[in-house]
Amino acid sequence: MANHRHVDINSTPIWAKLHQHQRATCHMHMRDLFDTDPHRFQRFSLELDGLLLDYSKNRITERTLELLFDLADAADLKGWMQKMRSGERINVSENRSVLHTGLRLPVDAALSVDGRDVVADVHAVLQRLKVFTDKVRDGQWQGFAGAPIRDVVNLGIGGSDLGPLVVKEALSAYAHPDLNVHFVSNVDGQHLARTLERLDPATTLFIIASKSFTTPETLLNAQAARVWFLREASEVDIARHFVAVSTNEAAVKAFGIDPEHMFGFWDWVGGRYSVWSAIGLPVMLSIGFDNFRAFLDGGHAMDRHFFDSPFASNMPVLMALIGIWYNTFYQAHTHAIMPYDHGLRRLPAHIQQLDMESNGKRVGRNGEALDFDTGPVIWGEEGANSQHAFFQLLHQGTRLVPCDFILPLNSHYPLGNQHDVLVANCLAQTEALMRGKGEAEVMRELSQLSGEQLDMLLPQKLFPGNQPSNTLALDKVTPYSVGMLMALYEHKVFVQGVIWGINSFDQWGVEYGKQLARRILPELSDAVDALAHDSSTNGLIRHYRERHGK
């Protein structure tokens, strides 16, 4: 296993310099920065293929960025970018390359790793997916009763669910009109039962999506789906109604799926980065193969931008460094993401998994303890709904919450002037968060009041402002722009991981809960009394058994 050169990033002189710079500039108000520089927007924004990043509403100056670029150099960011691009095994704890960028390469690109032609392997699977997708979409692939497929149910969880779900939802304007794609992830029976109650087995196709093909939630749902299917069909019909997406051919076979109906991918694709692989099958079925290719092309355009642009004009690098500025040097603990687009409403959940499973770590890539905060808590909700839910805290609460606003400029569903209203709301929020509302303005609004009433109301109506945000404005939600957006966040997370010295590509933290669940499961039904947990867990197990008459 490679042991990469270790930099104690918080012992570097640039780390200390950034702390000093934060102390020297933290009293600066963004309102004043805008008032003194009419060109701030031009200086702190950049555009790539119809995706504009406005990062001017941040507590930064050019000096802040210079120092952050030095921090990136101290962590050898360029070196790590090159290692990832060329397929070095940078996922050290699992001894794997990290090559989701390879999934987005065009057919004429060249990339070989360990003697294998990655591009040829990727495109061979894409070709099989295209043939299958076309057949299902044009009705040639028929169910056991001779009717075309009308419903597709993706059974998967985590990265085998969220990525494709977000992209499929985002691109509903491109969806096949007669093919409904559903996602069932939770082992809670109601998720599958409620989905299946509306479906006909004769026209339903199941995709069992699991990189490992050992995830209990997914396999239990797959077994239950099979039982439901076999109520009206027979074993031989399974071949036309169940396909698998996995890296584990043996387990797929053992489940009873012919490898001919399996689409593979590789251990160098992390679950949360897998929507670009065969895990994207439900998206392909919904929007068609050519649109899926456009999604890959959008991702690839972002990859080239990321790998080839200098830090000062590199979107993922800028977003990552500004994130580190708040997270590390301002000790902001969370980061909110608000897509002003109903189709993108689950994007915060996907980025939450992407970021928190990648960088939610307390140990560096070589096993050393990190004595500074790493990945933030990522959360968010679609706008304008979020304004009526948690924006009160953003405007007048006590915490620093950096935000990303994601704003499509054109709607696929124009309805009167509703899109203008949505855009106005989004821009108003970023302006209000930045500018705030000072005493003079509030006094003018309260000019009718005086005395105690004024004293009581005035502070309640003040907005401190200085709350930072990025705005990502995309011309329209298209396969290409969604591809760019998703790849942008992937690279942002990678850059932050590099600077903190983290391996962003493993996820040992989810294993322990799985182990304990395996131990507790039999204890829920067997009246084993020698429970050896803490008193709370023992008490809850007994309480469950009592309620179930055990």
CB of 221 to ligand F6P, least distance (A): 11
Q: Minimal distance in Å, beta carbon 507 to ligand F6P?
A: 5
Euclidean distance between CA atoms 353 and 357, whole angstroms: 5
Contact between 87 and ligand F6P per CB under 6 A: no
- Which position among 6, 17, 333, 514 bears the catalytic label? 514
CA-angle at 518, arms to 517 and 524, nearest 5°: 75
Nearer to ligand F6P, 216 or 367 (CB): 216
Determine the 3-state secondary structure of 22 from DSSP.
Answer: helix
58-77 footprint of ligand F6P as x/- string (CB under 6 A): --------------------
State the number of binding residues for ligand F6P (CB under 6 A): 14
Interface segment toward ligand F6P; rule CB under 6 A; list 83-91, 181-189, 211-219, 379-387: 211-219
Q: Is 350 near ligand F6P (CB under 6 A)?
A: no
The span from the CA of 491 to the CA of 421, in Å, is: 32
Q: Closer to ligand F6P at the Cβ: 214 or 418?
A: 214
Q: Closer CB to ligand F6P, residue 210 or residue 471?
A: 210
Please list every residue from 488 through 517 that binds ligand F6P, using CB under 6 A.
507, 510
Q: According to CB under 6 A, which one of 160, 203, 466, 471 is a site residue for ligand F6P?
A: 160
Measured between alpha carbons, how far is 164 from 183 in angstroms, rounded to an integer?
A: 9
Is position 272 an interface residue for ligand F6P (rule: CB under 6 A)? yes
Q: Which two tokens stand for residue 7?
A: 């930099």
DSSP 369: B
- Residue 91 C-beta: closest distance to ligand F6P, Å: 12
Q: Which stretch, 72-80, 94-102, 108-116, 155-163, contacts ligand F6P (CB under 6 A)?
A: 155-163
Cα 532 from Cα 529, distance rounded (Å): 9
**Smallest distance from ligand F6P to CB 54, Å:** 32
Q: How far is the CB of 246 from ligand F6P (least distance, A)?
A: 8
Going by the DSSP 8-state scheme, the letter that residue 384 receives in this structure is: T
12 near ligand F6P, rule: CB under 6 A? no
By beta-carbon proximity to ligand F6P, the closer residue of 77 and 354 is: 354
Q: How far is the CB of 173 from ligand F6P (least distance, A)?
A: 27
* Closest CB 207 distance from ligand F6P, rounded Å: 12
Phi, psi of 46 (to 5 degrees): -155, 160
Written as one letter, the residue type at 264 is: G
Residues of 121-136 as b/e, b for ≥16 C-beta within 10 angstroms?
A: bbbebbeebbebbeeb
Helix (H, G, I), strand (E, B) or coil at 180: strand
* Residues 312 and 335 sit within 8 Å (Cβ to Cβ): no
Q: Which is nearer to ligand F6P, 210 or 429 (CB)?
A: 210
Q: Would you say 56 or 359 has its CB closer to ligand F6P?
A: 359
Shortest gap between Cβ of 157 and ligand F6P (angstroms)? Answer: 5
Q: How far is CA 542 from CA 38, 521, 524, in A?
A: 67, 13, 8
- Nearest to ligand F6P of 26, 510 (CB atom): 510
Distance CA 402, CA 328 (A): 12
The nearest distance, CB 274 to ligand F6P, in angstroms, is 7
∠304-410-470 over CA atoms, to 5°? 55
Query: Residue 500 is encoded by which pair of tokens?
Result: 């903190």
**Residue from 168, 211, 345, 545 binding ligand F6P (CB under 6 A):** 211
Decide if residue 222 touches ligand F6P (CB under 6 A). no
> How far is the CA of 260 from the CAs of 144, 170, 193, 207, 232, in angstroms?
18, 30, 28, 14, 24
Beta bridge partners of 244: 208, 262
Q: How far is the CB of 322 from ligand F6P (least distance, A)?
A: 27
Rule CB under 6 A: choose which of 157, 166, 315, 488 binds ligand F6P: 157
Q: Does residue 210 bind ligand F6P (CB under 6 A)?
A: yes
Among 185-193, 205-213, 231-239, 539-547, the segment contacting ligand F6P (CB under 6 A): 205-213
The least CB distance from residue 241 to ligand F6P, in Å, is 20
Closest CA to 494 of 328, 247, 294, 303: 303
Q: Which residue has the tokens 């970018």?
A: 81
Query: Does residue 215 touch ligand F6P according to CB under 6 A?
Result: yes
Residue nearest to ligand F6P (CB): 271
Out of 87, 102, 143, 159, which residue is the one contacting ligand F6P (CB under 6 A)?
159
Active site (annotated) includes residue 388: yes
Using rule CB under 6 A, residue 481 touches ligand F6P? no
> What's the chain's length in residues?
550
Q: Are 311 and 72 in contact (CB under 8 A)?
A: yes
Residues 214 and 217: their CA atoms lie apart, in Å, by 9
Is 47 known to be catalytic? no
Contact flag: residue 374 with ligand F6P (CB under 6 A)? no
Minimum CB distance to ligand F6P smaller for 421 or for 516 = 516
The answer to whether 186 and 198 have CB atoms below 8 angstroms apart is no
Distance of alpha carbon 484 from alpha carbon 101, whole angstroms: 12
Binding of residue 91 to ligand F6P (CB under 6 A): no
Residue 145: which residues within 8 A CB-CB, separation 6 or more? 202, 203
Name the one residue in this structure whose structure tokens are 């040992």: 508
Does residue 514 carry a catalytic annotation? yes
Q: Is 158 in the site for ligand F6P (CB under 6 A)?
A: yes
Report yes or no: 303 and 101 within 8 Å, Cβ to Cβ: yes
Q: Which of 235, 388, 546, 548 is catalytic?
A: 388
Residues 6+ away with beta carbon under 8 Å from 505: 90, 91, 94, 96, 98, 270, 358
Residue 124 tokens read as 């061979």
Q: Contact with ligand F6P (CB under 6 A): which of 45, 212, 291, 334?
A: 212
Marked catalytic residue, from 88, 169, 217, 357? 357
Residues that bind ligand F6P (CB under 6 A): 157-160, 210-212, 215, 218, 271-272, 357, 507, 510
Active site residues: 357, 388, 514
